[in-house]
Structure 1
Amino acid sequence: MASKSQKNFCLKYKNTAIDIIVKKNKLSRNYKFTFDKKHLRGLVSIPKYVGFNEGLTFAKENAEWIYKQVNSFSPLIFIENNSNILFEGRTKKIIFENDTNTKVFTTKNSLVIKGKDNKHKIILKDWMQKRALSILENVIENYSKNLKVHVKKIRLSSSYNYWGYCNSAGVISINWRLIFAPLEVMHYIVAHELSHLIEFNHGDKFWRQVESLCPDYKKQIKWLKKNDNYLYRVRFD
């Protein structure tokens, strides 16, 4: 049964087929076009009184933009045996080894995953998330002491929309995909979010606070702007 609130389309542009989802929003008064980084598709939000085809027309009018977004994620980087990925900012070769025992370890140039056949990707992803959390816990503990702020809870995020988030209740959420980036980048994101527990804006005082924890934060911002698509392009399935 077709949904009354959304409709799927396929937009063909420059020999590329792009999935478009047009969705009616009861609270929206305007058209909005966003890019779904996880599924590599366009999302068009329209007022409830507007027809779906008008939403598609809006997408066609902005076809070049969505085409560039999709193209910027090509090619996807799939975790496979003998593939290469960035891990903590360094290129590592993925090596799957069949073994009854589960284990992951790093060498100078490789990431070795031991486990039962067809389970290596699951094992690696779980290991990476646990490693990211362990690093985050240490960094957050040190930085929060310096700032004299209390972090109530640490969460790992799988978001495709943000790298870090915090709230006034002291809950901090950091994207585990930062494990692919140099560790200094993760340190910057933590410094950024913890600084928001003191300054809930991006004014001069906020950035001075960030700099007190992460003196080279501008370098990390530059790296992230240049390579953020890479971190999202790595796929386990």
Structure 2
Amino acid sequence: MLFRRHDRKAPLTRGAEWIELMLDDGPLRVAVRRHPQARRLTLRVRAAARDVTLTAPPHVPLAFAHDFVQRHREWVRVRLVRLPEPVPFADGAIIPLRGEPHRIVHRPEARGTVWIAPAQEDGEPATLNVAGDAPHLSRRVQDFLKREARHDLGPAVRRYAAALKVEVGRITLRDTASRWGSCSAQGDLSFSWRLILAPAFVLDYLAAHEVAHRLEMNHGPRYWRLVEQVCPARREAEAWLRRNGSDLHRYGGA
């Protein structure tokens, strides 16, 4: 299945609005999100969540929104079909780690959790070897990736904090769909653990990006000068994320 379908009888959140759109293989529920600053109707197919949302101004009647969605049925269908298939964390799956392909290998007889074996001379990729029972394999892989992300982000954040002469707070990892990182006014940093799937220079750039917000809580010219002062690979990393960022959300999907 290329996209997440919602059972038409599934319980809805109190106050939620939905529009049912009939596609080739059944109904799809399009979530309607009212936004006070919206000036027009905007349809969005989210690669991370593999769903469809309609952002609408508060005053737009639901019937009008319904007609808008129906008129764009083919647009929605094409974009859903183009979404890449999810790659679950399962035995035999190939996933990137620091930008390099790794094959997941279940080792039920082994002790421990997850460990890496290097690539073979015959061209076989490196492997992520996962011990334990099969029902725990996906969780163990995700936990391992989070640990690796924290292992890489911690030193990168400290290095850029020292370079910019700022202090940072705690570092948290999340699975965010719309942003790769954030910096609070108190200096706490949050990152998507999926950055560990990208090449190392991409994760390194995001560390610099968020640490620089300790001096400039905006994206003005002074802010970008600070980022490029400590991270010359900024534009290369941003270009990589534009081309490949949405693809990182396919890993670990059902």
TM-score band (shorter)?
0.7 to 0.9
Structure 2 residue runs of 5 or longer lacking an equivalent are 1-10, 119-125
TM-score w.r.t. the length of structure 2 is: 0.82
Q: Aligned partners of 1:184, 1:68: CA distance in 2, in Å?
A: 33
The match for 2:200 among 183, 188, 208 is: 183
- Distance in 1 (alpha carbons) for counterparts of 2:36 and 2:156: 42
CA separation in 1, counterparts of 2:167 and 2:228? 19
Pairing 1:22–2:32 present? yes
For residue 215 of structure 1, report the CA deviation from its aligned partner.
1.1
CA gap of 1:229–1:38, structure 2 versus 1, over 3 A, is: closer
Distance across 1 between alignment mates of 2:55 and 2:73: 15
Which residue identity lines up with residue 195 of structure 2 in the other structure?
A: L
Q: TM-score, normalised by structure 1?
A: 0.87
Tell me the C-alpha RMSD between the 2 structures.
2.6
Does residue 152 of structure 2 align to residue 135 of structure 1?
Answer: yes
Q: How does 1:176-215 map to 2 (within 5 A)?
A: 176-215=193-232
Which of 104, 115, 129 does residue 105 from structure 1 map onto? 115
For 2:168, the equivalent position in structure 1 comes to: 151
> Relative to 1, partners in 2 of residues 1:16 and 1:228: Cα closer, same or farther, differing over 3 Å?
farther
Aligned partners of 1:92 and 1:39: how far apart in 2? Answer: 24
Distance 1:46 1:221, change over 3 A: closer
Equivalent position of 2:242 in the other structure = 225
Moved more, 48-57 or 180-189: 48-57
Quick one: structure 1 residues 28 and 230, their matched pair in 2 at CA, closer, same or farther if it must change by over 3 Å? closer
Gaps (5+ residues) in structure 1? none
Aligned-pair identity in percent equals 24
- Report the count of equivalent residues: 237
Structure 2 residue aligned with 1:87: 97
For residues 15 and 34 of structure 2, the distance between their equivalents in structure 1, rounded to whole angstroms, comes to: 5
Matched position secondary structure for 1:235: coil
